[in-house]
């Protein structure tokens, strides 16, 4: 789907408008939430067309509730994941957890986890954003911003500028907004690159372990690859191969698939069949970064959300979930800092610096940052364990063979879900819910 075409120049200077850079999961969620609360929102993205590119991923309980409130029909879009399993390099099942085993979690969230296609989730959010009235401009690469006392000026590569009362950097791991706000900050290369893909139809061998299963390989000690595969909606299979690899050495799709198959020589043929069945053009390579803690705002009119605020490795599957949470939390903070405006379709007035500061201070509270950074570190440690960067963690995973890991997994999921700021769910259901698109 193509959003509104780019326009050049902008004469508005004292705007009440909020500018969001990035129409990914964070940016679109933020655009929808803010617009529904009465703010005028402009979302800018550098790509000319937001296509449903990407592969499969999992979204867990609390973010499903938030996505539903934002207008995403998750039952229609996703595949309910009924179990998760960890498998050894030689295809032994180390443990398998029935995800719906905990009645409290099922009661609360319907299902603990859904598999979705990342691009399809982005398209669903784009549809909801456009239907809500959010202005989305593609082909608008942001190269920097200038902050003044009354507004912030966003600079585009084309030479166009936009003025807003607040700038939200939702432009992902390599965020330009973050680089401009915090020039000294560097994201940390994880040491591995990942190749991922999605099949149109799964090979027969992939269904051997039953459908809707997420499988993770713990690679052999001393080896430096890990492989994950799962089922995506409409009978597709997605996979991710992580390889310890130098940064910035990206390969074209066709070579990437050949390389993946070479690196999988020791894996069971079931997994190789999934990669073989993937069209070359569906194979993507991404270098994986995360970051140590840094500020999400510096007291002014600029703030970061999603991967721009806390790049995270994917082994714990939390990046997109955190992105949606950030969007709703930011919207709630602005709403609470500005509670006097009626919700009867009236647009909100210009945001004073004091209001912006109060809202952003509450958005980036210690609790919110602690939650995000603990997930960043848990994800890093999971990645290190899978990739054998930290042998003791990998051996910890091998202990799954003798330990009741199901129990540990359910406890971890519970902590994760119940620590997910339950009040966000209440807020989203009360203030953001609109008709499904």
Ligand X SMILES: Cc1cc2nc3c(=O)[nH]c(=O)nc-3n(C[C@H](O)[C@H](O)[C@H](O)COP(=O)(O)OP(=O)(O)OC[C@H]3O[C@@H](n4cnc5c(N)ncnc54)[C@H](O)[C@@H]3O)c2cc1C
List b or e across 60-90, with b for residues whose CB sees 16 or more CB atoms inside 10 angstroms: bbbbbbbbbbbbbebeebbbbbbbbebbbbe
Rank residues 191 and 338 by Cβ distance to ligand X and give the closer one.
191
* Span interacting with ligand X, options 1-9, 52-60, 252-260, 422-430, rule CB under 6 A: 52-60
- The correct pick among 19, 32, 43, 57 for binding ligand X (CB under 6 A) is 57
Binding-site member from 274, 319, 325, 329 for ligand X (CB under 6 A): 319
Binding mask 375-404 for ligand X (x = CB under 6 A): ------------------------------
Nearby residues of 30 by Cβ (< 8 Å), 6 or more positions away: 20, 41, 168, 170, 305, 326, 327, 330, 331
Our finding on whether 23 is near ligand X (CB under 6 A) is: yes
- In the complex with ligand X, which residue's Cβ is closer, 23 or 84? 23
Q: Which stretch binds ligand X (CB under 6 A): 55-63, 76-84, 362-370, 395-403?
A: 55-63
What is the closest distance, in whole angstroms, from the C-beta atom of residue 340 to ligand X in the complex? 31
In whole angstroms, give the CA distance from residue 307 to residue 322. 8
Nearest in space to 288 (alpha carbons), one of 246, 252, 259, 232 = 246
User: Which residues touch 423 (CB under 8 Å, ≥6 apart)?
Assistant: none
b or e along 146-158 (b: 16 or more beta carbons within 10 Å of the residue's beta carbon)? ebeeebbbbbbee
* 420 lies in the binding site for ligand X (CB under 6 A): no
Residue 20 in contact with ligand X, rule: CB under 6 A = no
Binding positions for ligand X, 273-302, rule CB under 6 A: 286
Of the candidates 31, 197, 256, 306, which one interacts with ligand X according to CB under 6 A? Answer: 306
Tell whether residue 78 is a contact of ligand X (CB under 6 A).
no
CA distance 39 to 356: 13
Query: Least distance in Å: CB of 76 to ligand X?
Result: 19
Beta strands in 245-350 (DSSP E): 284-290, 302-304
Q: How many residues bind ligand X (CB under 6 A)?
A: 35
| C-alpha–C-alpha distance, residues 22 and 44, integer Å | 6
Q: What is the DSSP string of 221-245?
A: TT--EEEEEEEETTTEEEEEEEEE-
Q: Which is nearer to ligand X, 172 or 348 (CB)?
A: 172
58 lies in the binding site for ligand X (CB under 6 A): yes
The yes or no reply on residue 172 touching ligand X (CB under 6 A) is yes
Which one among 118, 163, 338, 425 touches ligand X, defined by CB under 6 A? 118
* Span interacting with ligand X, options 2-10, 35-43, 164-172, 383-391, rule CB under 6 A: 164-172
Shortest distance in whole angstroms from residue 235 CB to ligand X: 19
d(CA 301, CA 334): 12
CB of 321 to ligand X, least distance (A): 4
The correct pick among 86, 170, 232, 368 for binding ligand X (CB under 6 A) is 170
Q: Is the dihedral of CA 364, 411, 425, 99 positive or negative?
A: positive
Please, which residue, 41 or 337, has the CB nearer to ligand X? 41
CB atoms within 10 A of CB 10: 18
Tokens representing 183 are: 């020039």
By CB under 6 A, residue 318 contacts ligand X: yes
Tell me which residues touch ligand X (CB under 6 A). 21-27, 44-47, 57-59, 118, 141-142, 170-172, 176, 194, 196, 240, 286, 306-308, 314, 317-321, 323
């Amino acid at each position: 789907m193509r959003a509104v075409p780019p326009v050049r120049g902008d004469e508005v200077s004292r705007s009440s408008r909020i500018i969001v850079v990035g129409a990914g999961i964070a940016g679109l969620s933020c655009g929808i939430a803010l617009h529904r609360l009465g703010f005028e929102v402009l979302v800018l993205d550098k790509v000319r067309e937001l296509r449903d590119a990407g592969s499969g991923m999992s979204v867990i309980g609390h973010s499903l509730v938030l996505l539903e409130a934002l207008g995403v029909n998750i039952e229609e879009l996703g595949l309910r994941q009924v179990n998760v399993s960890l498998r050894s390099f030689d295809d032994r099942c180390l443990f398998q957890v029935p995800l719906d085993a905990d009645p409290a979690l099922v009661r609360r969230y319907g299902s603990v986890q859904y598999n979705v296609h990342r691009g399809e989730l982005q398209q669903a959010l784009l549809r909801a954003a456009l239907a809500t009235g959010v202005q989305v401009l593609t082909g608008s690469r942001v190269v920097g911003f200038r902050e003044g006392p009354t507004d912030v000026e966003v600079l585009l590569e084309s030479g166009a500028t936009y003025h807003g009362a607040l700038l939200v950097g939702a432009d992902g791991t390599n965020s330009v907004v973050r680089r401009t706000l915090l020039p000294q900050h560097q994201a940390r290369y994880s040491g591995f690159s990942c190749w991922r893909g999605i099949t149109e139809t799964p090979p027969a061998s992939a269904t051997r372990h039953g459908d809707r299963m997420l499988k993770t390989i713990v690679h052999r000690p001393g080896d430096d690859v890990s492989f994950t595969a799962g089922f995506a909606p409409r009978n597709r299979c997605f996979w991710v191969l992580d390889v310890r690899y130098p940064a910035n050495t990206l390969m074209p799709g066709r070579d990437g698939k050949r390389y993946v198959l070479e690196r999988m020589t020791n894996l069971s043929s079931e997994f190789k069949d999934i990669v073989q069945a993937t069209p070359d053009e569906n194979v993507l390579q991404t270098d994986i970064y995360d970051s140590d803690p840094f500020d999400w705002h510096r007291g002014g009119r600029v703030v970061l959300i999603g991967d721009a605020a806390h790049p995270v490795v994917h082994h714990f599957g939390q990046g997109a979930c955190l992105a949606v949470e950030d969007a709703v939390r930011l919207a709630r903070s602005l709403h609470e800092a500005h509670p006097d405006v009626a919700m009867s379709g009236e647009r909100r007035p210009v945001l004073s610096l004091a209001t912006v500061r109060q809202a952003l201070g509450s958005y980036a509270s210690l609790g919110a940052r602690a939650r995000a950074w603990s997930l960043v570190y848990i994800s890093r440690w999971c990645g290190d364990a899978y990739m054998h960067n930290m042998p003791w963690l990998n051996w910890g995973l091998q202990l799954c063979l003798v330990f009741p890991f199901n129990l540990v997994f359910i406890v971890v999921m519970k902590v994760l879900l119940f620590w997910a700021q339950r009040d966000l769910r209440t807020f989203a259901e009360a203030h953001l819910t609109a008709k499904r698109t």
